[in-house]
Every structure is written in C-alpha cells, then in structure tokens.
Amino acid sequence: MSLAHDARVAVHPAGVAQRSARGWPEINNPAAWIVAAILLIMPLIANGFFLIEIFATTLILGTMALSLMFLAGYGGMVSLMQLTIAGFSAYMVAVFGVSGNANISLGWPWWLAVPMALALATIFGTLGGALAVRTEGIYTIMITLAIGAAFYYFTNQNWAIFNGHTGINTVATPHFWGVNWRADIPFYYIVLAVAALCYFAVEYVSRAPFGLALQGVRDNPRRMAALGFNVNAHRVAAYAFASFVAALAGVLQVWNYRQISPGSVSVGACIDILIIAVVGGITRPIGPFIGALIFVLLRTFAIDFLVKLGLDGNRFRLLIGLGFLAIVFWSSDGVIGLWQSWWRRQRSGAARSSGRHGRGSGQGSGQASGQGSGHG
Amino acid sequence: MDSVAQRLSAVGAGAALELRGVTRLFGALAALTDVTITVRPGERRAVLGSNGAGKTTLFNCITGDFPPSSGTIRFFGEDVTHFPPYERIRRGLRRTYQISALFPGLTVQDNVYLACRGVSRGRFSFLRPGQNDALMHAADNLVQAVHLTSVKDQHVAELAHGQQRQLEIALALAGAPRFVLFDEPAAGLSPTERTELIEILTSLPAHIGYIIIEHDMDVALRVVESVTMMHNGRIFKEGLPQEIQSDPEVQELYLGGSHE
C-alpha cells in the first residue's frame, strides 16, 4: 500500500447522499416544512399583536442570539456584545436616517442609512472581536461584557450623536412602491425573510470550509495552527460574520420600536441574549429562535400569570431565571438537547420493543436527522 | 566529531531541516540547550531519549508551537525561526502529537478535509465543497490510506484509540508534506496496529523525510536510517541505528536506564 498512488477510491454513493442530507437536514424533516408553512401563513392566523409583539420580536431577538450561537456554538467564543452590535447598528440607522430628533439625524434615505449602519456595526463588532480573540474563555466574556457596558454608559452620556438617556425617537421606517413596510403584515414578512436568510446562511456556512475550520478552532486551536490555519484571523473573521448578522437584527429592531435608547443596549439586555441562546441551545442555529420564543412568551404572558397568583407582575424574570437554571441543570444543550434526548429515548425504546435494532441504530438515525450543523 | 549529520549534509545539496544552537527556556529550566541538528531531504531519523530529554520540546520549537529562546531554525534553506506555526506548515512541514490532537466534534472525513484545506487556498471560503471537490477526494484518499473509510462519517469522539492514532497520522500527511515530525505515533497501539503503522511509514514517498520520536525500538529502528540520542535537553549522540543500539554509553543511559 502506498499513500502516493494506491488509494484512488470511488466515493461511496451512499456516503455522498448522506453527506448532502446532513448538510440540509430540514429537507428530510417534515416538521421543518410544517414550521416553514405556518410561519409563511402566519398573517392569516395571527392578529397584529401576535404577529409583531410575539413573532416578529421573537425572530429579531432570535437573529441576535443566532449571531451569538454562531460564535459560541461553532467558534467556542462566548460574546456578550452581540446585542451591543445590534444596538450600534440601530443607533446608526437613526443617526444617518430620518427621525424626530432633526438636530441629530442626517436625514439620509433608508437605502443609504441601512448599508451605512450595517457597515459601521460590522466594523465595530470586528474591532471588538479583534480585541476579544486575544483572550480565551471567561476573559472573552469579560472583554465583550466590558465593551457592552462601555457602550451603554457612553450612549447615556453622549448627547451629540446618541442623544443621551432619551435616545432617538420617531425613527422613520421605509415606504416605497406604495407600501408602508412598517405596517404589521409587510414588516412581519421583512423580519421573517431576514431571519430565514440569516438562519440558512449560518447553517450553510457551518458546512463550508470557513465554518468547518471555525469548529476546528473551537475543538483544538493549536492543532488548527499545525494544519496551516491562522487561528486568530479565523476568529476575527467569525466575529465579522456574526457582527453582520447582529447588525441586520439591529436594523429590524429600530424599525420595530421606531426608537432606540440606552435602555435597549443595557447590560441586562446583553445578558438576555446569552440566556436566549443557552435556553434554546447553542449547538444548532434553530436553538436561538426557540429560546427567543420562550423568552418573548414568558416576558409577555408571565406578568398576567404572576398577577393572577397574587405576585408582582414584574417578577417575570424570576420565571425566566428559574427556567434557565432548570435547563442548564438538565441539559447542556438547551431545549433542543432536552427534546433530542427525549426523542432518542423514544426511538430506542420503540426499537427495543420491536426487538431488532439496538441502541446504536436509534442513535445513528437521531444524529442523521438532527445533527446537520456539526454539533460538538 | 564525524557525526552522521555532518557526513550526510556533506553529501546532500541543501538540508531539509537545519537547527543551529537552539535553546528553549521555560523560566529558569532549560528544556533544550544548544541543539544543532541537520537533516537532509528525504532522510528518516529517530530521536530517542528518556522522559524529559527534550524530544517533544524539540518538535515544538521546530513547528513553532513554542518558539526557541535562541538559535535559528531553517526549513529547506529558509529561516523560519520567527514564523508562526501556520506559515511553517504551509511550507511543507507537518507534525503529529503525542496525545492525539483531533477535532472530536467533527467527523473523520471533516477532520481530514480540514487538514487538506489548511495547506491550500480557500481557508475562508463560504462556499460548501461540491461533490467533485478536489480536496474532498484528496481527503477520501487519505482516509482510505489509513484504513478509516468504514468510520469516516463518525464523530472522532466515538473512535477507538488506535483509530484516533491513525487519524492523527492522516492529518499530518495532507497536502504535499516535505518533512514530517511524528511524536510517538505508536503510543498505545496493538501489535497489529504497530505493523500497520510501520507499513504506512515505510510506504511514504521517498522524498518525504521525517523525524520520529518513539520509545518502541522495534518500531523506531525499522523505519529510520539515522538516530539522534537526546539527554537532559542536549544532543547526546548521533549515528546509524546499529551504532546507537550497540553503543555502551547509550545502553547505560537509555536502554539500561529504563529498567532501573
């Protein structure tokens, strides 16, 4: 046997099929098609309140948390500044675009202000990332938290650009082709399109050389360098990509609320994004959206629930905190992990009662359908 | 002293690897002291020595995992002393690790694919490899060469120890290696797996030279043409395998010493 010429093997056709199916697990998953269909016809089912306050908000927060999932799940870098990047992008839309604060806003049309905001926020996040990649683990968390906190206090105190603690109000939203794109139904579809784009982009990249290399960096940075990769450059590029995703979500956020103020970029809000991602599960791109839905539902309805119990409605965070504790206690992979282990148990239980396939086969198919994005 | 290295480097045109006075300090501890080694292209050499002799530190200096405190390292004539590891790897240097350094969250195929991608262009590519991707085929061939085709879609964390060691070697052979550093590749392998390892090493194309750290003399002396003995961070002796094996000082220090 010789390494140089002997090993010219035809790729096993089943292997190819399996590889492409693993690349896009949704294609073989009926549940994914059902969810996609429901999301598309949502305006027929849900009223304006549910459409915007629940689903659009979920998708926006989910997209922010998705940018954290990309960094943490694939890159092993827990960044607490993803909301800050989104907030920076939101502020830039308000500053360059049209708002009620005419002394600050430059009045650019949205199609100029938005690319400008995306570019500046991506640069901001990339520079922050370039600082953060010099550290590992808890120090990355500390540096990114420090950037988030610094930005929060800066927006509070800077009046020339960020208008201090009052923030920038009555931010204009796009009107073109005779459509008010901030009306409930058009805005829902914009948010859905952007969130879906980001979701599929993250999933696609996870199987592309860049994403695979990022997972390699997560698993063993030293070996990656010994394979010819510039590890820090890869990490900074990952921050750039994640920053762009967060910046897109920031634009949607400022259009959603039509205002942006320091309260939206507080340290508490930064940590909410981390909680959303961890509760949902950070090993797959769907996790952050599940986490965001749980978060938004709790935030919206826990108040009524708590008041019925005779408690202070503002204590909804207590519920979120308890849920967070429960989930990290029982599953390191968030709600997805809980669901998957339950599903796997069902499968192996069914297999055992049918008496043929062992645990191995149940596990194998669990991975084939669930594990599209190189789970760690 | 008429060392093998001197004799061989006088014959060969340029050295594959040339270390001059390489010293590596960890605080006050000198892990390597004034190490000078010349290895010609295609040469296969074993580095022997007891634990703490500085063998792995030598590898770490050559690859740049830990840069040397002083001295120079030339790789095919080019001074790479201050290059980051990835620049040395892109020039054809490869290494394996004593304790497998793999990517447990990825499949065997993806591990090898990354190794192929690391030494070619498109490391930052956002485009997924297609079905006829040349590097995917290169990865398939490597997986086949180390007998891992049957497990190529499994995650590395699920592999047996011997399979992980084989994958470790596959990662070091991706692309166009010119010189490979094998750090105890036989550690923990069964006798059958050792035979396979020897087969892989001896069947490497002749232009690929390597240095192998190996405690198992049966493996080491069958796959090399020269031997360097290290002791306490210094070069202790260099020679042909049979010279080293029969050298009384070496036997006293290493072969005898290991049974103390």
* pLDDT range class, residue A298, cuts 50, 70, 90: confident
- Helix, strand, or coil here: A312? coil
Please report, for residues A64, A293, B232, B246, the alpha-carbon distance to residue A263 in angstroms, rounded to integers and kept in the order given.
17, 21, 62, 78
The residue of B90, B106, B152 whose CB has the most chain A CBs within 10 angstroms, and thus the best one to mutate to test that interface, is: B106
The alpha carbon of residue A227 is apart from the nearest alpha carbon of chain B, in Å, by: 5
Structure ipTM: 0.85
Contact B153 A1 (CB under 8 A): no
Q: What is the mean pLDDT of residues A241-250?
A: 96
pLDDT at B174 over 60: yes
Report the chain B residue with the minimal C-alpha distance to residue A8.
B141
Residue with the bigger pLDDT between B103 and A180: it is: B103
* Residue B38 tokens, joined: 């010349």
The alpha carbon of residue A184 is apart from the nearest alpha carbon of chain B, in Å, by: 34
Minimal Cβ distance to B105: which of A20, A231, A376: A376
Report the chain B residue with the minimal C-alpha distance to residue A225.
B86
Contact B145 A224 (CB under 8 A): no
Query: Which amino acid, one-letter code, is at B92?
Result: G
State residue A357 phi and psi, 5-degree precision.
-75, 140
* pLDDT range class, residue A353, cuts 50, 70, 90: low
pLDDT at residue A10 in the model: 36
pLDDT tens digit sequence for A52-92: 889 999 999 999 999 999 999 999 999 999 999 999 999 99
pLDDT at A178 over 70: yes
B229 pairs with which residues across the strands? Answer: B48, B237
pLDDT at residue A316 in the model: 73
pLDDT at A27 over 90: no
Q: What is the mean pLDDT of residues A267-283?
A: 90
A129 pairs with which residues across the strands? Answer: none
Please give the mean pLDDT across all residues of chain A. 82
Contact B106 A227 (CB under 8 A): no
Percent pLDDT > 90 in chain A is: 44
Contact A212 B113 (CB under 8 A): yes
pLDDT at residue A6 in the model: 37
Minimal Cβ distance to B89: which of A4, A9, A227: A227
pLDDT at residue A331 in the model: 74
Compute the C-alpha angle A320/A323/A327, nearest 5°.
Answer: 140
CA A140 and chain centroid, separation: 18
Report the Cα–Cα distance between both ends of chain A, in Å, rounded. 34
* pLDDT range class, residue A356, cuts 50, 70, 90: very low
Report the chain A residue with the minimal C-alpha distance to residue B157.
A376
Query: CB contact, 8 Å: A7 with chain B?
Result: yes
Query: CB contact, 8 Å: A215 with chain B?
Result: yes
pLDDT at A360 over 50: no
pLDDT at residue A371 in the model: 37
Neighbouring residues of B254: CB distance < 8 A, sequence distance ≥ 6: B48, B49, B50, B229, B231
Task: Tell me the chain B residues in contact with residue A223 when contact means C-beta distances shorter than 8 Å.
Answer: 97, 101-103, 171
Contact A212 B63 (CB under 8 A): no
Neighbouring residues of B100: CB distance < 8 A, sequence distance ≥ 6: B164, B165, B167, B168
The DSSP secondary-structure symbol of A25 reads G
pLDDT at residue A354 in the model: 57
- Choice among A6-10, B34-38, B188-192, B246-250 with the minimum mean pLDDT: A6-10
Query: CB contact, 8 Å: A8 with chain B?
Result: yes
pLDDT at residue B4 in the model: 58
The residue of A70, A223, A283 whose CB has the most chain B CBs within 10 angstroms, and thus the best one to mutate to test that interface, is: A223
Minimal Cβ distance to A228: which of B90, B97, B128: B90
Percent pLDDT > 70 in chain A is: 85
pLDDT tens digit sequence for A318-336: 777 887 888 778 777 778 8
* pLDDT range class, residue B136, cuts 50, 70, 90: confident
pLDDT tens digit sequence for B159-172: 998 889 989 999 99
* pLDDT range class, residue A51, cuts 50, 70, 90: confident
Contact B140 A9 (CB under 8 A): yes
Contact B84 A230 (CB under 8 A): yes
Contact A4 B205 (CB under 8 A): yes
Contact A227 B171 (CB under 8 A): yes
pLDDT tens digit sequence for A95-112: 998 887 778 888 788 899
Residue with the bigger pLDDT between B254 and A234: it is: A234
Neighbouring residues of A136: CB distance < 8 A, sequence distance ≥ 6: none
- Where are the extended beta strands (E) located within B119-214? 179-183, 209-213
Contact A9 B144 (CB under 8 A): yes
